[in-house]
Amino acid sequence: MRKLLRTAALAAALALIPFPSPAFGPPAEGDISALREQIARQQTQILELQQALERQAKMLERLLALRQSAEQERQPAAAEVRPQPAAAASRHEIPATGEGPAASAPPAQEPAPQLPQPAEYSAPKTLAGFQFSGDFRLRADVQARSGNAIAAPLQNVRSRYRVRLNVDRQIDPRFNFHMQLSTGPYNNPITNDQDMAGGVAKHPFSIAEAWVDYHPGSALSLRAGRMEEVFADNSRFLWDDDVRFNGFQQIVRLKPRLNALGITGVEFRAGEYFLSNPAVYVLPENSPFVQAGYEPGQKVRDSNLFHPGVTVRGALGSAWRHQLTGDVQIYRNPNQIQLMSTAAGVPVLINGTLGLVLSGAPGGTGNATTTPGGAIYSAPDFHIARLAYRLEREGVQIAGRRMPAWVDFQASRNLGAGSLRDAWMASANLGAVREAGDMRFLYQFAVKDANSMISQFTDDDLGTGSGVNIAVHGLRFDIGITRFLQFQNLLFIQRQRRPSNPAEQMFVPLQRGANATVRYLGQMAFSF
């Protein structure tokens, strides 16, 4: 290319240089001297044109390189071990948990902490504008409880693993696409872990997340698809970190001029999620929906979740930040969620949607029901109001290392129930794992009563075998082995809150009086 440009420029230069007209007869001595001077000037001009052409070619190469680099930088950033997906910067995000999805956030959002890649590893993460990231986790999972007259013994020691792969694409400056593929059994929507069992049978790999995000500016984000809940914060209080919802969510961010009050930002959020699509217009008498309290002859409507709320962020001086969140969850037809966890409900609410037959009903039960193992919650409704406050400081220096510190308190009440309706959790954290040698310490204490929230959606590690009706101490210690590998240790000590009460038609699957359940999770978490 460069040689061709030089030739063209040389030809153009020669065409522009005036040559003397030919004349008959021998030239005079003066004419020969003038001709030599003109040829010398022409040679100088040709050399200058060649040099200018070379400079232009080098400049063109630099501009092309800069353009390619800028296009790569405009691609969505790969996310960390814990994918956050909607407004991670303003959520009660627990740094470097290694528990949630590895997902990228839209440009208007600050991505959650990421374990950086080692310097010696430089494999490209972008292909044709698609960005790839993910994680791999090996886990030892120990569940133990001694037996008594209330509950049978529990002794389950197993090995598990999890693989997640993220694909992100910036469609244009206003649209982002994200998809996550993950391991995990089809009949357990609150885990992506796969047991090392089943002989050598192949394990499933399915779509865990898929959404499109529209953000015309930094103040607005609209998302649709299968996604993390709009108020998910990876704290183990409201949601299990692996649960995903189908539907829509909206985020509006404001920056009011209230510096005198220490307010730095206000964020309004809302989510609308589809939980079922029965398509039953006239209910027959032998339908499983009768078990969930529906009358024969009526139409069975969808089950939905609506979740609006607001977060206010602020600063306390230069070192401290805090935020206050208030929100309310409004469930429509919640008994269908409990029906999904029964053998009778799986064929009519799940199998038809998946296009395959599950081996069993999804777990995660724990709420009080009107009959033992029944499909009707004791709580007439689930209208859950929540307040959450978090105080954090980023710059604590201990032994030459930066140790982020924060405390978090959350409390909720189910306004649709008359008793056993409250839940709360307090957490304290020191440290975060970002590179080799970093450490993290976490303590949590949580109480979740039997009618306080939907057990099928809340954390299944904090509440082993019963997502609610529990009081749990949680301890965590993580250490960085390399810049892409953490060794994480989690210990939970769980006791049950209430016994069943037949006089009030209240039955819980795991009652008070059962011996304490102890659970240990030791895992090696790789990010890439």
Residue 312 Cα distances to 269, 315, 322, angstroms: 11, 11, 9
Please give the pLDDT value at position 83.
Answer: 41
CB 14 within 8 A of CB 6: no
pLDDT 10s digits, 410-447: 999 999 999 999 999 999 999 999 999 999 999 999 99
> Would you place residue 103 in the very low, low, confident or very high pLDDT band (cuts 50, 70, 90)?
very low
Please give the pLDDT value at position 29.
Answer: 60
Residue bearing the bigger pLDDT, 505 or 67 = 505
Please give the pLDDT value at position 116.
Answer: 39
- DSSP secondary structure string, 220-274? EEEEEEEE--TT--SSSSSS-TT--EEEEEEEEEE--SBGGGTEEEEEEEEEEEE
Q: Is the pLDDT of residue 69 over 50?
A: yes
List the chain domain ranges.
Answer: 2-18+34-70, 74-527
> Would you place residue 72 in the very low, low, confident or very high pLDDT band (cuts 50, 70, 90)?
low
With vertex at residue 312, the alpha carbon angle to CA 308 and CA 315, rounded to the nearest 5 degrees, is 160
pLDDT 10s digits, 301-352: 999 999 999 999 999 888 899 999 999 999 999 999 999 999 999 999 999 9
Facing residues of 134 across strands?
A: 165
Facing residues of 167 across strands?
A: 132, 179
Q: Is the pLDDT of residue 8 over 90?
A: no
Q: Which has the minimum average pLDDT: 115-129, 148-162, 185-199? A: 115-129
Q: Is the pLDDT of residue 32 over 80?
A: no
Please give the pLDDT value at position 19.
Answer: 46
Residue bearing the bigger pLDDT, 165 or 95 = 165
Please give the pLDDT value at position 201.
Answer: 94
Please give the pLDDT value at position 28.
Answer: 57
- DSSP secondary structure string, 42-54? HHHHHHHHHHHHH
Containing 13, the helix (H) or strand (E) segment is helix 2-16
Closest of 278, 273, 304 to residue 290, by C-alpha: 278
Alpha-carbon gap, residue 285 to 296, rounded angstroms: 5
Please give the pLDDT value at position 398.
Answer: 85
With vertex at residue 355, the alpha carbon angle to CA 351 and CA 359, rounded to the nearest 5 degrees, is 45
- How much is the average pLDDT of 233-240? 96
Q: Is the pLDDT of residue 523 over 80?
A: yes
b/e sequence 247-284, b meaning 16+ C-beta within 10 Å: bbbbbebeeeeeeeeebbbbbebbbbbebbebeeeebe
Q: Which has the minimum average pLDDT: 18-22, 123-127, 154-158? A: 18-22
* Rg value, the chain, Cα: 32
Q: Is the pLDDT of residue 88 over 50?
A: no
Alpha-carbon gap, residue 377 to 386, rounded angstroms: 20
Return the structure tokens found at 212. 């499109």
Written in H, E and C, the secondary structure of 289-343 is HHHHCCCCCCCECCCEEEEEEEEEEEEECCCEEEEEEEEEEEEECCHHHHHHCCC
Please give the pLDDT value at position 395.
Answer: 75
Phi, psi of 300 (to 5 degrees): -95, 115
pLDDT 10s digits, 437-479: 999 999 999 999 999 999 999 999 999 999 999 999 999 999 9
Alpha-carbon gap, residue 525 to 476, rounded angstroms: 14
pLDDT 10s digits, 256-313: 877 667 899 999 999 999 999 999 999 999 999 999 999 999 999 999 999 999 999 9
Q: pTM, whole model, 2 decimals?
A: 0.78
The CATH class given to the 74-527 domain equals mainly beta
- How much is the average pLDDT of 371-377? 97
- Looking only at the bridges linking them, the beta strands covering 405-414 and 383-393 are antiparallel
Tokens 């004419």 belong to 31
What is the distance of C-alpha 485 from the center of its chain?
19
Name residues whose C-beta falls within 8 Å of residue 15's C-beta, 6 or more positions apart in sequence: none
Please give the pLDDT value at position 40.
Answer: 74
Q: Is the pLDDT of residue 126 over 70?
A: yes
CB 61 within 8 A of CB 53: no
Q: Is the pLDDT of residue 38 over 80?
A: no
Please give the pLDDT value at position 66.
Answer: 63
Name residues whose C-beta falls within 8 Å of residue 262's C-beta, 6 or more positions apart in sequence: 314, 315, 316
Q: Is the pLDDT of residue 500 over 80?
A: yes
